[in-house]
Structure 1
Amino acid sequence: MLDMKFVREMPDEIDAAMAARQTSWDRARFFELDGRRRALICRVEELQATRNAESKKIGALMRQGQREQAEAAKDAVRAIGDEAAVLNDELGAIDDELERFMARLPNIPAATTPVGSDESDNVECRRWSTPPAFAFDPRPHWELGVDLGILDFDRGSKLSGARFTVLAGAGAALDRALQSFFLNTHIAHGFTEFIPPVIVNREIMYGTGQLPKFEEDAYHVGDDQFLIPTAEVALTNLHAGEVLDGASLPLRYTAGTPCFREEAGSAGRDTRGIIRQHEFTKVEMVKFARPEESDDELESMTAEAELLLQQLELPYRVISLCTGDLGFSARQTYDIEVWLPSYNAYKEISSCSNCGDFQARRASIRYRDPERFKGTRFVHTLNGSGLPTGRTMAAIMENYQNEDGSITVPEVLRPYMGGLERIEQPAAGGAGA
């Protein structure tokens, strides 16, 4: 959430930020609400002061035997109280509307975020390795996986509907190996691992910016609770409402969890295979940093995700998202795109974002550093995929496929898979070896 004082004092900057994001805001309505709110606060404070003064007179008038004047003063106090109650009700309604208004304003892009209209204006920063050159016609992972008996789309659909998949045999082992490899790497680099709940309350989804804007993409369960779309939601809100010790920053957290997304706005996109599923496993990175350190922490988080792909020897490129393609809560984002032969293109596999104090303001996460400043300030929060196992599995299957339909297991994963070097056709009646 943006600082209301900043919005009030710098509306031209808000105009420019919203224009860069290819959206708009109702500037006139904001100032109408904000002006009425401040006028109401002043009037209520005046009434309270008058009420206090009149209340003090009542006792003195009674002691002086001026009962008639005392009763008149009581009537005046009651009238003031009635007026104040009406105004406080109006103030509460305006506060609620202002909160809803502010909750729908996206973050202001960082100065380093490229200005552009849509994904076509994103800026490529770098590439690593080159796509493989096959001596045969490569096949898509959805065909390879079915033939190898490690992806079962029919049974996934039978159990849960479209965009659900059953992983079997070596497919299940590969998913588990990836998660362990990702987590072990992050932990070795100073991240603390968590296993948070996958069901969270409404205010937790609000804290990271999933609500109210993206409610249609979320799975609603129970009594106004939600299945998490990413572990970012739970990890960031671990410190909701808290004041952190500045000496402890930056904090680096990681978690591997199931993730759930309705994908309401993605009809027809990536419907084949395991690129865009309603349920998938992802290892997430989250950081809490001082404002002056958050840009560096974004760079190191992106490098952490890149390191995973480098160790897997998967070709990728890094893209700096432009203002028109930036996520709601982010001020700067790098997307990492892995090469997928079935698309003959790079596809997003990780997104690393610096949200500034946007999420911290919504979730009320502050820090204290008495050697630098008095009081408290909002931390900066960052998040990044490190990585989703499904998309990584698809990339491995397609880039490591062999002409006979088998898949070579990347060397770095073999210790996690009992030394298995190749996923081959299953024996009769079995699942992928």
Structure 2
Amino acid sequence: MHDIKTIRDDLAGFRADLLRRKPDEAAADALIVRLIERDDARKTAIQKAQAAQERRNAASKEIGAAMKAKDAALADELKAEVAALKDGMGALEAEERDAIAALETELAAIPNRPLPEVPFGADENDNPEIRRVGEPKNFSFKPKEHFEIGEALGLMDFEAAAKLSGARFTVLKGKLARLERALEQFMLDLHTDVHGYTEVAPPLLVRDRAMFGTAQLPKFRDDQFAALSLVEAEQHFAANEPGELDHFWLIPTAEVPLTNLVREQILDEASLPLRMTAGTPCFRAEAGAAGRDTRGMIRQHQFSKVEMVSIATPEQSQAEHERMTACAEEVLKRLGLPYRVVLLCTGDMGFASQKTYDIEVWLPGQDRYREISSCSVCGDFQARRMGARYRPAEGKNTRYVHTLNGSGVAVGRALVAVLENYQNEDGSVTVPEALRPYMGGLETISRA
């Protein structure tokens, strides 16, 4: 969420950032005009309501003076004026609320402003590579993709999942199910015991306000799964219109509940940075992914992910972003998985992000790097939507916190990477040493 005062104080800078996100000058200029018009309407509505209230208060005092002066006619005239002002206050207050809502709706649809060092670009092809770690293994055979390996082992079943739930679901069995669980436990232990994050077990269902706070709503409504009760569903469909229900949503990532833990709070500066992690199932409709990654586990409606969230001061947030990215990288280093880090360009970065690093793991079966983690700093963009502030150690005025989030990492994609990088010619899969304590000492997964 943007601050309209900040925008108006630097319209040229705001316009430049809009064009870095989307180089459409006509659209940028039209948006700025709408923002100014809505802000002017808000100010006018507030002034009208305040003027009416001030006149009402003044007239009320004048009634007493008129009665004291035994001027009944004037007193009656003033009483009539007060009554009329009182009757009109409701309409003025409604006008003020509507004007504020119109401005906030416009502001809520504008993406975050990229930091100056974020490169301009149109899509993922314009993302510069920052570093590459580890060398892809040279196989003596043609490496298979993860779904070929899992199905051949008899431990990955897409057909059964389709019968239960449709496309983009997977059933894992036996040692692969345990391997997925081992990966999540390994990541959580690393982030809590070594990296200093506090583990949280959050709800998987959240309300509209939580999704709005982290900017999943309203922009990405079609990518979410809504969970309506039977009564809500009946009311919703009976109305035969989209409606704005305050219903539950299945979380697309633990970023939503973790970040919202500080909503509508004022934190002490001494408590920051606040670092939290959680391993949860995640749910995404993937509305914009038709035809992409239809085979395998890369793009699923339900998947597991270990999330990291940091709440920081503005002065801490840039260093915290680098630290969070390093924590995610450490997962891949300990698993012995080759990867690279790229800096997302303006055309590829997320709606709420100021700056994002993507970590892409090497998948020999696909002969390419694929995203396994995305670490973003959001500045005060989400904090404004949530009303999350902190009180500086020195100074009376509160400030908005900065929020950060990152995958630490996507468990399903880590499973994919382990299967493809640790596959053997006979179809078995070697268990990475870091995971063997979580697998009861098992060194190899083979078909029974």
Q: Per the shorter chain, which TM-score range?
A: over 0.9
Judge conservation of contact 2:45–2:99 (CA < 8 Å) in 1: no
**Distance of 2:156 and 2:403 partners within structure 1:** 36
Tell me the CA shift for residue 127 of structure 1: 0.2
* Matching of residues 374-393 of structure 1 within 5 Å: 374-393=396-415
Shift of 1:342: 2.4
In 2, the alpha carbon distance for the partners of 1:217 and 1:85 equals 38
**How does 1:16-415 map onto structure 2 within 5 Å?**
16-22=16-22, 24-25=27-28, 26-188=31-193, 189-222=195-228, 224-371=247-394, 373-415=395-437
Alpha-carbon distance, 1:280 to partner = 0.5
Amino acid at match of 1:367: Y
Matched-pair contact (CA < 8 Å) for 1:20–1:117: no
Give the RMSD, CA atoms, in angstroms.
1.2
Whether contact under 8 Å (2:224, 2:252) holds in the other structure is yes
CA distance, structure 2, for counterparts of residue 238 and residue 150 of structure 1: 38
Instruction: Report deviation, 1:86.
Output: 2.5
- The secondary structure found in structure 2 opposite 1:323 is coil
Letter in 1 for 2:120: V
Match of 1:430 in 2: none
Report if the CA contact (8 A) 1:320-1:333 is conserved.
yes
5+ residue gaps in structure 1?
A: 427-433
Contact 2:377 2:403 in 1 (8 A): yes
Q: Post-superposition shift, 1:83?
A: 3.9
In structure 2, distance between residues paired with 1:295 and 1:56: 55
Equivalents in 2 of 1:241, 1:51: separation in Å?
A: 33
Q: Distance in 1 between matches of 2:13 and 2:124?
A: 23
CA distance in 2, matches of 1:37, 1:277: 43
Distance 2:415 2:210 in 1: 30
Aligned partners of 1:43, 1:401: CA distance in 2, in Å?
Answer: 72
User: Matched residue of 1:7: which SS?
Assistant: helix
Whichever residue aligns with residue 36 of structure 1, its letter is A
Contact in 2 for aligned 1:194/1:253 (Cα 8 Å): yes
> Secondary structure of 2:261's match?
helix
Q: CA deviation at 1:410?
A: 0.6
Contact 2:268/2:393 (<8 A) preserved: no
Offset, 1:79: 2.7
Cα distance between partner residues in 2 of 1:78 and 1:281:
61
Read off the aligned partner of 1:34 and give its amino acid letter. Answer: D
Q: TM-score, normalised by structure 1?
A: 0.96
Instruction: Give the Å deviation of 1:65.
Output: 2.5
| Separation of aligned partners in 2, 1:85 and 1:394 | 60
Output the amino acid matched with 1:166: V
Q: Which amino acid aligns with 2:412?
A: G
Matched to 1:13, the amino acid is G
**What code does the residue aligned with 2:299 have?**
R
Identity level (%): 53
Corresponding pairs, count: 425
The alignment partner of 2:281 has SS state of strand
SS of 1:120's partner is helix
Q: CA deviation at 1:93?
A: 1.0
Partners of 2:71 and 2:316 in 1: how far apart? 68
CA offsets per residue over residues 256-294 of structure 1, 9 Å max, x none?
Answer: 000000000000111110010000110000001111111
User: Structure 2 stretches of 5 or more lacking a match?
Assistant: 233-246
Aligned residue type for 2:426? D
Contact 2:279 2:304 in 1 (8 A): yes
- Contact kept, 8 Å, 2:388 with 2:400, in 1: the verdict is yes
Residue identity matched to 1:27: I
Q: Distance in 2 between matches of 1:84 and 1:11?
A: 34
Q: Per-residue deviation at 1:396? A: 0.7
SS of residue paired to 1:291: coil
Residue-by-residue CA offset, 1:196-232 (whole Å, 9 max, x unaligned): 0100011000000100000111110025110000000
In structure 2, how many angstroms separate the alpha carbons of the residues matched to 1:240 and 1:205? 12
Q: CA deviation at 1:349?
A: 0.3
What amino acid does structure 2 have at the position aligned with 1:403?
A: E
| Secondary structure in 2 matching 1:91 | helix
Distance in 1 (alpha carbons) for counterparts of 2:87 and 2:17: 43
Distance in 2 between residues matched to 1:167 and 1:139, nearest whole Å: 18
Report if the CA contact (8 A) 1:252-1:286 is conserved: yes
The residue matched to 1:38 in structure 2 has which SS?
Answer: helix
